[in-house]
Amino acid sequence: MASQFPLRFGWLSPCIGNQWSDHRPIVVDQATTILPTVNDHFDSMWVADHFYGFDQKTDPFVEAWTSLTWLAAKFPDVQVCHHVLGHGYRPPALTAKMAATLQVFSENRFMLGIGAGWRGDEYEAYGYDFPKPSVRFAQLEEVVAICRLMWTEDLPSFEGEYFTITEAAAPPLPEVVPPVCIGANGEQIGLPLAGRIADMWHNTPRDEEAWLRKYDIVRSAAERAGRDPGAIQTGITIEQPLPETDDESAAFVERIGRWNEIGVDHFVMDFGNPSSTEPVLRFSEQVIEPLRSSER
């Protein structure tokens, strides 16, 4: 099923530093060497929300809100989004306030990417509760409701099962309400939630068949909620090195074109840590441009 949204490309910039980056957070160096080119050719920039490394806990990992705000200030031509926030890392009202502020500073280029969280050891290390998935997703639904109230009402109040706000003013209200991107994969809880409340559903697919099954769950949940399922954007992450040859570019065109054909709108590309802009320009000229031209 072809999408009604334009084809878009995002760049995931790693917040982590490891032995392959001399233990410097990759996004710090990319901001100087790579991201100026990305700003000219991609539609969005994304950063992940974690507190420390994966290979070693001592590997640096810069904080996501600070990083994304810094990127939004440096690169004015792209949308910015988290990939995705763990809602339990920050109280809901604080999340709403931070999002509204970043929407103002970025001149309406912020999208709230958020999910139920998954890295239990990280929650526990920082002293945060990490309840079972059904609770985390129920909390997430309340978090999004609180955000949307605080973005649109002068004196919003909310009383849920897990969270409460009372006249939680958050001026200045954003001129454009940030779209909400829900990262979800679970077929029983997460995907129906995305269908009910997401402006964008994001997923890292295993294969086309599995993705289409999950997308059908999202769409069915939207219909049951009285929503137009076609109004939900779709995003996937592709983790693969940048192309270095014409043939590798052609393979990307075929792969992304097929995903777009079956309904994916926004491709978040995880290219790791390229050493130069040459393959970035190759990807732009040999993959992005031909695919965009085919839409016209």
pLDDT tens digits, residue range 241-250?
999 999 999 9
In the chain, how many domains are there?
A: 1
**Which positions ≥6 away from 25 have C-beta within 8 Å?**
14, 15, 16, 17, 60, 61, 62
**Which positions ≥6 away from 286 have C-beta within 8 Å?**
243, 246, 249, 250, 252, 253
**Which positions ≥6 away from 238 have C-beta within 8 Å?**
255, 256, 267, 268, 269, 270
pLDDT on residue 6: 95
The pTM of this model reads 0.96
**Which positions ≥6 away from 132 have C-beta within 8 Å?**
none
How far is residue 219's CA from residue 196's CA, in Å, rounded to a whole number?
Answer: 9
DSSP state of 155: S
Q: Which residue has the tokens 């077929």?
A: 187
Residue 112 near residue 99 (C-beta atoms within 8 A): yes
How far is residue 168's CA from residue 149's CA, in Å, rounded to a whole number?
Answer: 9
pLDDT on residue 1: 59
Q: 195 in a domain, yes or no? A: yes
Q: 121 in a domain, yes or no? A: yes
Q: 1 in a domain, yes or no? A: no
**SS3 (DSSP) at 154:** coil
Q: 202 in a domain, yes or no? A: yes
* Domain, as residue range, for 60: 8-295
Task: For CA atoms 23, 102, 267, 202, give the dihedral sign.
Answer: positive
**Which positions ≥6 away from 178 have C-beta within 8 Å?**
99, 100, 103, 110, 111, 112, 147, 151
Q: 188 in a domain, yes or no? A: yes
Q: What is the pLDDT of residues 122-152, one digit of tens each?
A: 999 999 999 999 999 999 999 999 999 999 9
CATH of the domain at 148: 3.20.20.30
Q: 2 in a domain, yes or no? A: no
Which residue ranges in the chain fall short of pLDDT 50? none
pLDDT on residue 271: 98
DSSP state of 162: S
